Structure 1
Amino acid sequence: MNPPAVAGGGGLAGLAADVSALLGRDAGDPVPVGGGSICTAARLDGPGGPGAVFAKTLHDAPDGFFAAEAAGLRLLGSTGTVAVPQVLAADRNTLVLEWIEPGPATPSQAERLGRELAALHDVRAAAWGPAGPGFLGRLPLPSPTGPPPAAPEDWAAFHAEHRLLPFLRQAAGDGAMAPADVRSVERVCELLPRIAGAPRPPALIHGDLWSGNVLFAADGRARLVDPAAQGGDPEADLAMLELFGCPQMPRILAAYEEVRPVPGRRERVALHQLHPLLVHAALFGGHYGAAAGRAAREALSRA
């Protein structure tokens, strides 16, 4: 998730011992790595080891928190479309990945990322939502109690019931949403079958694709990190990437659309930004509730 920066719950104390235990070798001393808003992250480069690793920790993490992230990374990597860091180890409170050396966001790297995202979004998912537990920040992703819906025409009801309304209720209950903004989001949910465009089958998406989860690398190939991988609408990934800004965004989109054009996508950007804005309102409060209300009204005006 996107900051504001919030101190991670686990801290660096004990991280080296946890990573050493998971890897079965001396992981070295942790060097803090910034960029996240939920976990505490570090680079560790143990003496005589095979190389640096990236680790992050969260004290009292929800059940399945890091297991879900590890599973999502493995799932995305298994498609052979996008690049992700190798998962080295995970337990309840810690995740260890290979270290990817950051690099500049070059035009060629951005264009490759756009093409790779297009290829990812051509991978069909079995149903709407994640195959197992999923999280955005610390918040669990709600899922149906019965068999997950899978038909193209099921998306609108699934999205309203399991992606918009739960986070709207939480944000409103915490005082992060004004009544007028709540009504605007509720109206979007009512009209979603009409404003969502033509039904499409579920595709495999990253699910939390803000710019901080795109790691431009020194080797020239961007990696995707911290996914909430699930069956979803590909427009959600692109809309979230635009929401908080991403280096070389025009080149990413142009390369994507050369491979996988999506008619009418520009008119639906606000609609697909509504979910991450509601999640941010529930997590962080602040101005995100008002931003969700504006996005809802824009989506309604473009309908």
Structure 2
Amino acid sequence: MTGALAEVGLDPGALRGGGVRRVTLPDGRAAVVKRDPSVPAEAAGLRWLAVPGGPPVPEVYAADEEWLISQEVPAGSPTAAAAEDLGRRLAVLHEAGAPAFGAPPPGGPADAWIGATGMRNEPAESWPEWYAEHRVLAYVRRADLPDTAVFDEVCARLPELAGPAEPPARLHGDLWSGNVLWSADGAWLIDPAAHGGHRETDLAMLALFGLPHLDRVVAAYDEAAAIAEGWRSRVPLHQLFPLLVHTVLFGGGYASQAMAAAHAALRA
């Protein structure tokens, strides 16, 4: 045996195929094994997000170009106290910063993943220009949209729509509710698409598909690290990225949602 599986004593013959599965390692640790092209980026992201005082993330037990073996998160239920703790810890994570907007985690590939589609981590100094090129137009070009003019207008006006300038934050990058696991010891973050970005993007993504006690999360975050004035009006702008990704992956109603978000961003 070689590589990540050998490092933790797993037999590749018993792990044929791809996907995700739960296993018990020979030393008794409960683990999750994932085989997917995205695992190098995910492993680098998990290591980068493991910030002291930040939200807990699964420990990477071993990883290579094909396999990721990480800590299994014990199951629990969402509580208001855990939500408030998540808000405070998310502020710590964001404040840990990044070298630039679009910067990948150390050792992570520039051509990374969000869900089952590609995501380019190309460092830049200016958030509006970077977000327009690499998080909006990159997916507009690939999506099945009835009209793209509204997205062009948003991108042209991004410097005025973006709000006060902020330094690059250390983002989870795919922070929808399914990537928040509630455990007995609080909320854990899994499956990152980590990169340097604008902290409001993570917060907007939490709101996109709903999260238990989201109001508590946001209030605790704002108390720990005040969110810039007018941030609520900018939520549709930051939701453009995940909505366009979903349009590329799934089509259907996500195209109309993305266009509605673009129009809302212009009205902000």
Report the TM-score, using the length of structure 2 for normalisation: 0.89
State the partner residue of 2:193: 228
TM superposition shift of 1:116: 0.3
State the partner residue of 2:133: 161
Residues 29, 44 of structure 1: 8 Å contact kept: no
State the partner residue of 2:220: 255
Please, which runs of 5 or more residues in structure 2 have no aligned partner? none
Residues 29, 45 of structure 1: 8 Å contact kept: no
State the partner residue of 2:145: 177
Residues 127, 202 of structure 1: 8 Å contact kept: yes
Letter in 2 for 1:230: H
Q: Deviation per CA, 1:139-172: give whole Å up to 9, x if none.
A: 222244xxx323xxx111111011100100100x
The 5 A counterparts of 1:1-303 are: 20-25=5-10, 40-46=19-25, 49-58=27-36, 61=37, 65-131=38-104, 132-133=109-110, 134-144=112-122, 148-150=123-125, 154-171=126-143, 176-179=144-147, 182-218=148-184, 220-262=185-227, 263-302=229-268
Report the number of matched residues: 259
State the partner residue of 1:33: none
Residues 51, 96 of structure 2: 8 Å contact kept: no
CA distance in structure 2 between the partners assigned to 1:18 and 1:256 by the alignment: 40
Q: What SS is found at the alignment partner of 2:120?
A: coil
TM superposition shift of 1:123: 1.9
Q: Deviation per CA, 1:166-203: give whole Å up to 9, x if none.
A: 100100xxxx2112xx1111110111111111111111
TM superposition shift of 1:91: 2.4
TM superposition shift of 1:296: 0.2
Please, which runs of 5 or more residues in structure 1 have no aligned partner? 1-16, 31-38
CA distance in structure 1 between the partners assigned to 2:116 and 2:215 by the alignment: 31
Structure 1 segments, 4+ long, off by >3 Å, are 17-22, 25-30
CA distance in structure 1 between the partners assigned to 2:235 and 2:203 by the alignment: 8
Q: What SS is found at the alignment partner of 2:183?
A: coil
Q: What SS is found at the alignment partner of 1:280?
A: helix
TM superposition shift of 1:221: 2.1
Q: Deviation per CA, 1:15-45: give whole Å up to 9, x if none.
A: xx99754512469978xxxxxxxx7221112
Judging changes above 3 Å, is the alpha-carbon distance between structure 1 residues 27 and 53 closer, same or farther for their aligned structure 2 residues? farther
Report the TM-score, using the length of structure 1 for normalisation: 0.80
Segment drifting more, 93-102 vs 188-197 = 93-102
Judging changes above 3 Å, is the alpha-carbon distance between structure 1 residues 19 and 258 closer, same or farther for their aligned structure 2 residues? same
Residues 35, 68 of structure 2: 8 Å contact kept: yes
CA distance in structure 2 between the partners assigned to 1:278 and 1:28 by the alignment: 39
